[in-house]
Amino acid sequence: MEKDIIIIGGGPGGYVAAIRAAQLGAKVALIEADQIGGTCLNRGCIPTKALYKTAEIMQTLNKSADFGFQLDGFQLKMEKAQERKREVVTRLRTGVDKLLEGNGVEVISGKGSLVDSHTVLVTDGDGNTQSVQGKNILLATGSIPKRITNPGVDLPGVITTNEALELEELPKSMVIIGGGVTGIEFASILQSLGTQVTVVKYSPRILPPIDEEVIKRALISFRKLGFKIETGIKIKEIVQSETGLKVLAEGKKGPQDFAGEMVLLSAGRSINVDGLNLDGIGVAYDEFGIKVNSHYETSVPGIYAIGDVIGGQMLAHVASDEGKTVIEHIFGIETQINYDAVPTCVFSFPEIASVGLTEEETKKRGISYKVSKFMFAANGKALTLGEGDGLVKIIANEATHKILGVHILGPHASDLIHEGALAVTNGLTTADIICTIHAHPTLAESFQEAVLGVEGRAIHMLNK
């Protein structure tokens, strides 16, 4: 039986697209070589956040005296934390499996390879093959950890994030190569759990998508947490030392070296196109991603691609939204994604979240703007939580007062950012936020106070 949609890749882009297609009445085949949920569910977002919670509890225990507790002798049992992480992942993956089954999606285990614009050859783990025909094909194969090619990357103790998520015994020290979202998240987790971490990054600043002022403030918090960050570092090689490993590098002041029991490679991700036979059927791509048009259609009509494999913003929620958008286009429902309104979250200590334009991007686009900032140190709920570090920063159009960007450093930033995303997506003005009552005492009041500050009307801070 011919399918309406064949999807290669069962991650957050692929499985969401499959469910949306089934909702619209399509006959769907979803081909997955590993496990449903892809990198995000199995080796990325979810397991990382499970370990982040363990690290957060460790921080709370270390500060327990501030809340009136006297605790002695507690210790981390990493194997138990890993067991909990696996239980969370399994539970969520089982839930997705049931959703696919309940929506009538046929899941085929194996590696998919394109034969032509309507045919996919699937090879399972035993080498058996089957051919699947469909009217449309969607590529959602995601990305894989990028391995640097410097000498020494194959030494024992040099690991990727995949291996880092499975550690049952933490090293005393670790060098993390890469200061993007993943590198900073692992640095925060491992440092909180007792590993001395050094982050080294080639470019001059960490977390390049985030507003520069927010990063400068975050660096102060990271120093308090205890991990070191070195930027402008060019890696030469990794060598064995008496106590573990040593990263030899070139810095602003000449040769430098960084020692650690282990080295974590977190220098970004590469598109996962191995075995798809893109060259064989003429699908255009380069090292940055498969080429697609505004409807996510590739150079071969009837073959579409979404998510990490097309480059762009490599985020699970972007892949999911692209998956829904491309399926709706195939069925004649036209929707568009506003890439200026995609929230980005960094699960560090403290959390960082951002949506819309940064101050740097606003200047680059020549937009006249106003900025207002409200500190969590003046927010009652933040102080009761013992998390008064950080701020909410609002960027608004000077003429129209539309909210252009929201940037948060502080407690529960990843949850608070969605009011900002709603504002940026819908072109809300400062007046729209000001007239919305925010409950007290809540962290969300900081957002309203920052918006009030744009108008010079803030109550709990002095107005400029």
Residue 252 neighbours by CB under 8 Å, 6+ apart: 232
What's the per-residue H, E or C state across 375-440? EHHHCHHHHHHCCCCCEEEEEEECCCCEEEEEEEECCCHHHHHHHHHHHHHCCCEHHHHHCCCCCC
Q: Can you tell me which residue has the tokens 């590529």?
A: 139
The number of angstroms, rounded, from the C-alpha of 73 to the middle of its chain's C-alpha atoms is: 35
Q: Can you tell me which residue has the tokens 């380069």?
A: 286
Q: For 331-375, write each residue's pLDDT tens digit.
A: 999 999 999 999 999 999 999 999 999 999 999 999 999 999 999
Q: Give CA–CA dist 217/109, Å, rounded.
A: 47
Residue 116 burial by Cβ neighbours in a 10 Å radius (0-12, 13-18, 19+): middle
Q: For 92-150, write each residue's pLDDT tens digit.
A: 999 999 999 999 999 999 999 999 999 999 999 999 999 999 999 999 999 998 878 99
What is the band of 464 on the pLDDT scale with cuts at 50, 70, 90? Answer: confident
Residue 73 neighbours by CB under 8 Å, 6+ apart: none
What is the percent of the chain where pLDDT is above 90?
A: 95
Q: Copy the structure tokens of residue 274.
A: 């191995």
Q: Give CA–CA dist 269/317, Å, rounded.
A: 17
pTM beyond 0.85, yes or no: yes
Q: For 311-326, write each residue's pLDDT tens digit.
A: 989 999 999 999 999 9
Q: Can you tell me which residue has the tokens 């009837």?
A: 302
Q: Copy the structure tokens of residue 165.
A: 């998520």
The DSSP bridge partners found for residue 177 are 200, 265
Q: For 373-386, write each residue's pLDDT tens digit.
A: 999 999 999 999 99
Residue 147 is predicted with a pLDDT of 79
Q: Copy the structure tokens of residue 220.
A: 């102060």
Query: Taking residues 229-241, what's their average pLDDT?
Result: 95
Residue 73 is predicted with a pLDDT of 84
Q: Give CA–CA dist 119/289, Å, rounded.
A: 22
Classify residue 371 as left (phi > 0), alpha (psi -120 to 50) or beta: beta
Are the C-beta atoms of 245 and 155 separated by less than 8 Å? yes
The number of angstroms, rounded, from the C-alpha of 204 to the middle of its chain's C-alpha atoms is: 21
Q: Copy the structure tokens of residue 310.
A: 């097309």
Residue 180 is predicted with a pLDDT of 95
What is the band of 392 on the pLDDT scale with cuts at 50, 70, 90? Answer: very high
User: Directed axis angle between helix 413-425 and helix 445-454, to 10°?
Assistant: 40
H-helix segments, 193-244? 212-225
Single-letter amino acid, residue 176: I
Q: Give CA–CA dist 422/416, Å, rounded.
A: 11
Residue 445 is predicted with a pLDDT of 98
Are the C-beta atoms of 2 and 135 separated by less than 8 Å? yes
Other CB atoms within 10 Å distance of the CB of residue 130: 11
Does position 1 have pLDDT exceeding 80, yes or no?
Answer: no
Residue 100 is predicted with a pLDDT of 98
Q: Choose the catalytic residue: 295, 317, 418, 440.
A: 440
Say whether 438 is catalytic.
no
Q: Give CA–CA dist 142/12, Å, rounded.
A: 9
Element (H, E) at 42: helix 38-43
Report all structural domains of the chain as residue ranges with CATH numbers, in order of start: 3-145+270-337 (3.50.50.60), 158-267 (3.50.50.60), 341-454 (3.30.390.30)
- Please provide the size of the chain in residues: 464
* Phi, psi dihedral angles at 343 (to 5 degrees): -75, 140
Residue 135 is predicted with a pLDDT of 97
Query: Taking residues 154-169, what's their average pLDDT?
Result: 95
User: For all residues of the chain together, what is the average pLDDT?
Assistant: 96
What does the DSSP assignment read for 43-91? HSHHHHHHHHHHHHHHHHHHTGGGGT----S----HHHHHHHHHHHHHH
Query: Taking residues 50-79, what's their average pLDDT?
Result: 94
Does position 216 have pLDDT exceeding 80, yes or no?
Answer: yes
Q: For 409-440, write each residue's pLDDT tens digit.
A: 999 999 999 999 999 999 999 999 999 999 99
Residue 252 is predicted with a pLDDT of 87
Element (H, E) at 287: none
Query: Taking residues 241-262, what's their average pLDDT?
Result: 94
